[in-house]
Every structure is written in C-alpha cells, then in structure tokens.
Structure 1
Amino acid sequence: MSVDFNGAVVLVTGANGGLGQEWIRQSLERGATKIYATDLQQREWNDERIVSLVLDITDNASVTSAAQTALDTTIVINNAGVAFREPLLTTDEETMRRVFDINFFGPVAVSKAFAPVLKNNGGGAILNVTSVLSWLVVPPVYSSAKAALWMATNALRLELLPQGTAVVSLHMGYTDTPMTKALNVRKNDPVDVVRAGLDGIANGAYEVLADKLSVQVKRALSEPVEVLYPQLTGSALRFDQQPHILAEQASA
C-alpha cells in the first residue's frame, strides 16, 4: 500500500535527534503539511508547520495524550531509540527492561495508540526503525530488543492490513548520528537512510533495506548460523570484523 506525502501529517518520535531532524526535513520537502515533532523535551523549530509535542514513549499516559492531541496524523515514524552495547550475561534486569522499553515496548505502544487515528484518517502508514541489528547480535541486548520490534512490526502489518494501514520496517547499519558518534566505523549518511525509508512508504514497500550491509545480513539468514557468527567455527574474529564473509555471498 503506497502512501502519498502530499498533504500528509507526520508524527516523528525522537525528533530532536540527528535522524529525527532529517525525517522532518525530508517529509516537508515531499509535501507534508504538518509535522508533530515529539521528544522528551519541547523544542523551538521556527517553522509553523512543525508542532513540538512532549512524548515519552515508555509512559502509557504520555502516549495516550499524544494520540488524543495529534488526531490528524496520517503517518507515524517510530524513530526514537537508545543504544546499549553491554553483554547480555552481565546486564542487570532493570537495565535490560529499560532498553526494551525504549526500543520495543515504546514503538509498539505508539503504534497501538495511533492505529485508530490512522484508520479514521484513511489508513496511512507506520514506519518502524528496526536496524540491521534486528538480524545480528551485535550488541546482544540492543539487538534482542530490535529483533522483537522486527517481529512485532510483522504482526502489526498483518493486523492493520484490514484497515488499510501500511506498516514498514526500516533496516540499516551504523548511521552518522549522535548515538554512533563514538564509534570508529563506516557510517551511513542520515540523508540516504531517511530517503530510503520515505521512498519505501511512498512506494508501498513492506521492508526497506537501506544499505548493502542490511541486504547481506538479510540474505545470510537463510544460511547456516555460522555464516553470521563465524566464531562458532573457532574463528577468533567477530562478525563485524569479517564483513567479507557476507560481501562474497552478496556478489555471488
């Protein structure tokens, strides 16, 4: 189901961050007439088309309030998230639940709250930023939350189909935002990632693979598990130190 951005009203979570600002900029370029820029704190945007809205996606009352306020929303972009790089076995339960609250339960809560809003406005679309790490355990706790969001996105896609709401998952590798500032790795340009996501909504895609790494990892899911995790074969290197393994498969 394709969705037209001309005249759209778009709600973006995590709008104050680097990727969030790009969602706003490109949505307006494509013809959106209003943006609900939501985050934990209000921000002055100096653009009458942008409405700053306080939203804590981990708080049910806050999510409900946002859905009751932004009743004209036609597209929801679940962009908010938090990075966490510690191992699963050494992460305490409270921290693990916090990571899941932001990266899984939050986007699901927003999707559920806005489903009736989108239905009333003709169907619309939901895009969940799920990451290539939905399919690759690097790092474990964060990836587990993103994997859960990927599966929930699949469920939402089927459950919202009867009301005409498109549900899109966006997968990409490391992207140049404040969240990845400390990482010395090759990073995607946020402009390219957001363009791919918005193209997916406009063209009726169910799943958007925004970079070569996402294509490679998705393809490897049908291969033996050792392809994604070569350390299982006795290799001392982690997957992210052996990108050539999947690159060779992608070119085959």
Structure 2
Amino acid sequence: MTSLNGAIVLVTGANGGIGGHFVREALARGAAKVYASARTPQEWDDARVVPLRLDVTDPASIAAAVEAAADTTVLINNAGAGVSSPGILTQSDEEIRRNVETNFLGPLFLTRAFAPVLTTKAGDTAIINIHSALAWYATVGIYSATKAALWSATNSLRLELQPAGVQVVGVHVGWVDTPMAAGTTDPKLDPAVLVSKVLDATEAGEYEVLADDTSVQLKAALSAPLQALYTQLSAAE
C-alpha cells in the first residue's frame, strides 16, 4: 500500500478534468508536492504544486521530466488522446498515431524512465495507470486498442516492479464527466468520485480499480462467448 501523506506525486495531463482532480485530491490527502504536468502547464494557487512541462510522446521531454522530478514517489499516468469517430477503419493515420503514442507508448516509456527513481526509494511508491472500460469493449477503434495495450503493459509492469516494492494500480472506468465525454448522453461518473476511488484503492494496497458498473460488467463479460459481449455478431449469424 502507498500512502499519499508526504508523497511526491507526478500527474500527467494535469490540466484536464481528471488530472486536476488528482492534483487537488493528492494535496488534500497530505502530499508534500505535486508535479502538475502538461504540454503547456498552467499555474496553480498552491505552493505545493509545481507546474511541469511534459509531452509524453517526446523522449527528450520525458528525460527532462525525470531529471526535474527525481524525487517523485507516485506517478499517475493520466494523459490521454481521444478519437473523432468510433471506427478504426475511418480514423486517420494521424489520429491512430496520436492515440498509440499518447495512450500507450507515452505512459509505457514514462514509467520505464521513472522506474529507476521509484525502485531506489524505500516503500510508499506507486504507479497509477488510467485505462478504460473500453479496453474490454472494442467499440472505439484505436482508442480501445491502445487502452487494451496499456492494460496488458500494466500487468507486465506490476509483476516486474513488485519485487522492488512498487505498487502498480490499473484503473478501468466508463464515461467520466469531462470535456472528452461531452458528446455522449450515457451515464457519466463524476471525476472527483473516480479520483477518490483510485486513491482509496492505492492507499489500501489494491492493484486494480473497477470504478463503475460498466467496468465491473465488462470485466465479468470477458469469460463469456464473444457473441454475448458483441451482440451484433449473433445478429449476423
């Protein structure tokens, strides 16, 4: 388990709805410092927050972040890219590359860069990866594919970092009430509720967060025949 009290936290995508809640909730739980990172970091009204320029798709930017934030004890991989249409055959080359680089390669390479930093500290270190329920329900093309890849990578990282005492937490959630989900009328989880659940689980020593009913149902459906999850396959028979 990893306490947020006294932690040094780095949040990627800190300018967004979920990222901003991670910054504020970490501080509320006693974090000593929070690196609020983004491509264009914003200013904060708390001296404990350190704006940090970070582009997770740029190796030089990742290297600079590791140097600037070498005291990090909790890394939260929250930054992500979305898509303009659901079909992977209609998504553009640029959109596909941006999703792969931001949603999968970015958090993987950032974690790999920070791993030596975290493994040299004595306990109370964690990595939190924000997946998506859509990792288990491939209806959003490349977005679903990259979140599934991150889920798999998180499982590998958890096993590799466990001997060094680094807790790796994977988070699955459906729609969250942020600008990225503005176009859907489906039920949305309050980002403050999501963040509270994630940090509660981290401090309790858990490895996975199923933040809403959608995530619980989709994980349970993984053991069923494909036609049960993707009913359109049955309709085509």
TM class by shorter-chain length? over 0.9
Give the Cα–Cα distance (whole angstroms) in 1 for the partners of residues 199 and 79 of structure 2.
16
Give the Cα–Cα distance (whole angstroms) in 1 for the partners of residues 136 and 93 of structure 2.
22
Would the aligned equivalents of 2:25 and 2:195 in 1 still touch at CA under 8 Å? Answer: yes
Would the aligned equivalents of 1:14 and 1:20 in 2 still touch at CA under 8 Å? Answer: yes
Name the counterpart of 2:194: 193
Name the counterpart of 2:205: 204
Q: Which deviates more from structure 2 when the two are superposed, residues 51-60 or residues 86-95?
A: 86-95
- Kindly indicate whether residue 131 of structure 2 is the aligned counterpart of residue 136 of structure 1: no
Name the counterpart of 1:245: none
| Aligned residue pairs, count | 234
Would the aligned equivalents of 2:86 and 2:139 in 1 still touch at CA under 8 Å? Answer: no
* Deviation at residue 92 of structure 1 after TM alignment: 3.6
Runs (5+) with no aligned partner, structure 1: 236-252
Give the Cα–Cα distance (whole angstroms) in 1 for the partners of residues 122 and 134 of structure 2.
32
Name the counterpart of 2:225: 224
> Matched residue of 2:137: which SS?
coil
Name the counterpart of 1:122: 122
1:41-77 Cα distance to aligned partner (Å, 9 max, x none): 0211021000000000000110111011101100000
Give the Cα–Cα distance (whole angstroms) in 1 for the partners of residues 146 and 197 of structure 2.
23
Name the counterpart of 1:64: 63
Letter aligned with residue 144 of structure 1: A
1:190-234 Cα distance to aligned partner (Å, 9 max, x none): 111111111111111111100111001000001111111000010
Would the aligned equivalents of 2:12 and 2:78 in 1 still touch at CA under 8 Å? Answer: yes
- Poorly superposed stretches of 4+, deviation over 3 Å: none
- Kindly indicate whether residue 78 of structure 2 is the aligned counterpart of residue 91 of structure 1: no
Give the Cα–Cα distance (whole angstroms) in 1 for the partners of residues 103 and 182 of structure 2.
19
Letter aligned with residue 107 of structure 1: P
Letter aligned with residue 5 of structure 1: L
- Kindly indicate whether residue 31 of structure 2 is the aligned counterpart of residue 32 of structure 1: yes
Letter aligned with residue 20 of structure 1: G
Would the aligned equivalents of 1:73 and 1:121 in 2 still touch at CA under 8 Å? Answer: no
Would the aligned equivalents of 1:72 and 1:121 in 2 still touch at CA under 8 Å? Answer: no
Give the Cα–Cα distance (whole angstroms) in 1 for the partners of residues 28 and 89 of structure 2.
45
Give the Cα–Cα distance (whole angstroms) in 1 for the partners of residues 188 and 3 of structure 2.
29
Give the Cα–Cα distance (whole angstroms) in 1 for the partners of residues 41 and 145 of structure 2.
30
Letter aligned with residue 19 of structure 1: I
Letter aligned with residue 204 of structure 1: G
Give the Cα–Cα distance (whole angstroms) in 2 for the partners of residues 86 and 143 of structure 1.
9
Name the counterpart of 2:2: 3
> Matched residue of 1:160: which SS?
helix
Give the Cα–Cα distance (whole angstroms) in 2 for the partners of residues 16 and 51 of structure 1.
13
* Deviation at residue 138 of structure 1 after TM alignment: 2.1
Would the aligned equivalents of 1:39 and 1:56 in 2 still touch at CA under 8 Å? Answer: yes
* Deviation at residue 116 of structure 1 after TM alignment: 0.8
Would the aligned equivalents of 1:103 and 1:149 in 2 still touch at CA under 8 Å? Answer: yes
Would the aligned equivalents of 2:87 and 2:139 in 1 still touch at CA under 8 Å? Answer: no
Q: RMSD of aligned C-alpha atoms?
A: 1.1
Give the Cα–Cα distance (whole angstroms) in 1 for the partners of residues 98 and 14 of structure 2.
20
Would the aligned equivalents of 1:166 and 1:204 in 2 still touch at CA under 8 Å? Answer: yes
Give the Cα–Cα distance (whole angstroms) in 2 for the partners of residues 202 and 153 of structure 1.
18
Matches within 5 A, 1:74-85: 74-84=73-83, 85=85
Matches within 5 A, 1:157-172: 157-172=158-173
Give the Cα–Cα distance (whole angstroms) in 1 for the partners of residues 132 and 111 of structure 2.
17
Letter aligned with residue 190 of structure 1: P
TM-score by length of 1: 0.90
Name the counterpart of 1:249: none
